[in-house]
């Protein structure tokens, strides 16, 4: 809840000001409400969806008091987010691979570290694969997390072939009977086409050991990138077929509404949200908790 303070303050203050002293919900008030939702980065589709629901209830005379608007927004948001809240946990004794993708700086490595800590604490055995071989710093950073969380890591020097590092990581995990490999991947921006080809290659190579691998592919998104995030979801999903999304840095932005925009853009599960840099600042995505934190 604290992590979303900035978004909550902005939305709540705006809605409060909007309804202050108002006796009826008229078209002007609805237009102003629409502007508030767009400003919170809910995006066009989610905003339209929420406004349609609210407007219908106003037209049917179910919603008359401006003071009840906040509850109506909460309900509409909940309807959008609920289907996206699909928790995922590793399976014991199956050696699955969770491939993490996303552009540099989105919070991929940090999220991997947080996930490893969480699942290790829950009793799963975890191995990290340092597949972001493009940046030397990325390998060091992941190795640092592995030491901190005390899980094994498979890494090679910078410049090594990402697919081959992750192939080795998966093979090692299978040999050791480890529950889950969390695979880091490259996220450099300047050669987008090349990046997608590399990610596809990683998928192909992992599938040689088991056609079911990688078992999960999650995109890590920085909430602060706003509506740009939607483009990233579509691009990565088209290239590799995502099975989940993690949205980071919700603590640092007043644009928490982007979660609704992402939920509306594609029917993909939102797995976790990041609300800080610390190892404990990762929450399984819950629609209720999120709406509670966003619209108080
Ligand atoms: P990568 O390039 O995608 O691997 O990104 P990193 O994991 O290196 O993260 C980039 C920066 O974002 C680092 O300084 C992280 O500490 C920070 N970061 C990651 N997740 C969060 C989050 O949920 N909240 C905040 N405030 N910072 C985060």
CB of 280 closer than 6 A to ligand 1?
no
CB of 135 closer than 6 A to ligand 1?
no
The dihedrals phi and psi of 199, each to the nearest 5 degrees, come to -65, -40
Ligand 1 atom nearest to CA at 106: 3
- Tell which one of 3, 101, 105, 107 to mutate to probe ligand 1, the residue whose CB is within 8 A of the most ligand atoms: 107
At 159 the pLDDT is: 82
At 190 the pLDDT is: 62
Ligand 1 atom nearest to CA at 273: 23
- Cβ 171 vs Cβ 97: under 8 Å: no
Residue 104 has pLDDT above 90, yes or no: yes
Distance (angstroms) between ligand 1 centre and the Cα of 134 equals 18
At 75 the pLDDT is: 95
Token pair, residue 2, equals 């604290």
At 32 the pLDDT is: 95
Residue 187 has pLDDT above 80, yes or no: yes
Residue numbering of the annotated binding site for GTP: 102-109, 184-188, 248-251
At 1 the pLDDT is: 66
- Residue 131: name the closest of 105, 153, 106, 115 by CA: 153
CA 5 to chain centre: 18
pLDDT classification of 189: cutoffs 50, 70, 90: low
Residue 250 has pLDDT above 80, yes or no: yes
- Cβ 255 vs Cβ 41: under 8 Å: yes
- Residue 107: name the closest of 244, 265, 219 by CA: 219
- Residue 156: name the closest of 180, 135, 134, 130 by CA: 130
List the residue whose alpha carbon is closest to atom 9 of ligand 1. Answer: 107
- Cβ 280 vs Cβ 245: under 8 Å: no
Burial of 223 (0-12, 13-18, 19+ CB in 10 A): buried
At 191 the pLDDT is: 66
pLDDT classification of 9: cutoffs 50, 70, 90: confident
CB of 248 closer than 6 A to ligand 1?
yes
pLDDT classification of 165: cutoffs 50, 70, 90: very high
Residue 81 has pLDDT above 90, yes or no: yes
**ipTM of the complex, rounded to two decimals:** 0.99
- Residue 277: name the closest of 148, 177, 127, 190 by CA: 148
CB of 49 closer than 6 A to ligand 1?
no
SS3 readout for 55-113: HHHHHCCCCCCHHHHHHHHHHHHHHHHHHHECCCCCCCCCCEEEEEECCCCCCHHHHHH
- Cβ 248 vs Cβ 220: under 8 Å: yes
At 152 the pLDDT is: 98
At 3 the pLDDT is: 80
pLDDT, tens digit, 9 for 90 and up, residues 44-65 = 999 999 999 999 999 999 999 9
Distance (angstroms) between ligand 1 centre and the Cα of 94 equals 30
* pTM (two decimals): 0.95
Burial of 117 (0-12, 13-18, 19+ CB in 10 A): buried
CB of 109 closer than 6 A to ligand 1?
yes
At 116 the pLDDT is: 98
CB of 232 closer than 6 A to ligand 1?
no
pLDDT classification of 193: cutoffs 50, 70, 90: confident
CB of 156 closer than 6 A to ligand 1?
no
CA within 13 Å, CB half, 286: 8
Residue 294 has pLDDT above 80, yes or no: yes
Span 209-223, mean pLDDT? Answer: 97
CA 23 to chain centre: 39
CB of 110 closer than 6 A to ligand 1?
yes
Whole-number Å distance between alpha carbons of 232 and 243: 14
Q: What percent of the chain has pLDDT over 70?
A: 98
Mean pLDDT for the chain overall: 94
CB of 283 closer than 6 A to ligand 1?
no
Alpha helix ranges (H) inside the chain: 5-19, 27-39, 43-59, 69-81, 108-121, 136-149, 162-176, 192-207, 228-240, 258-265, 287-294
Ligand 1 atom nearest to CA at 248: 23
List the residue whose alpha carbon is closest to atom 16 of ligand 1. Answer: 277
């Amino acid at each position: 809840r604290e992590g979303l303070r900035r978004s909550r303050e902005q939305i709540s203050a705006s809605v409060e000001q909007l309804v202050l002293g108002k006796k009826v919900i008229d078209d002007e008030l609805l237009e102003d409400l629409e502007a508030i939702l767009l400003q919170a980065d809910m995006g066009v589709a989610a905003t339209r969806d929420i406004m349609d629901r609210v407007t219908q209830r106003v037209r049917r005379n179910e919603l008359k008091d401006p003071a009840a608007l906040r509850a109506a927004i909460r309900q509409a948001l909940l309807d959008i987010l609920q289907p996206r809240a699909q928790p995922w946990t590793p399976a014991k004794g199956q050696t699955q691979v969770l491939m993490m993708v996303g552009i540099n700086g989105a919070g991929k490595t940090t999220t991997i570290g947080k996930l490893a800590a969480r699942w290790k604490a829950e009793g799963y055995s975890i191995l990290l694969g340092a597949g972001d071989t493009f940046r030397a710093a990325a390998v060091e950073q992941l190795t640092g997390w592995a030491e901190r969380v005390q899980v094994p890591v498979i890494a090679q020097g910078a410049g090594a072939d990402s697919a081959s590092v992750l192939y080795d990581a998966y093979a090692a995990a299978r040999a050791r009977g480890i529950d889950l490999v969390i695979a880091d991947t490259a996220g450099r921006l300047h050669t987008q086409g090349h990046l997608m080809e590399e990610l596809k290659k990683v998928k192909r190579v992992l599938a040689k050991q088991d056609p079911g691998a990688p078992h999960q592919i999650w995109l890590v998104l920085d909430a602060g990138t706003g509506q740009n995030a939607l483009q990233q979801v579509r691009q990565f999903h088209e290239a590799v077929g995502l099975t989940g999304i993690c949205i980071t840095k919700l603590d640092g932005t007043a644009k928490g509404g982007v979660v609704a925009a992402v939920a509306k853009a594609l029917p993909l599960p939102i797995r976790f949200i990041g609300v800080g840099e610390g190892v404990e600042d990762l929450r399984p995505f819950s629609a209720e908790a999120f709406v509670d934190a966003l619209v108080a």
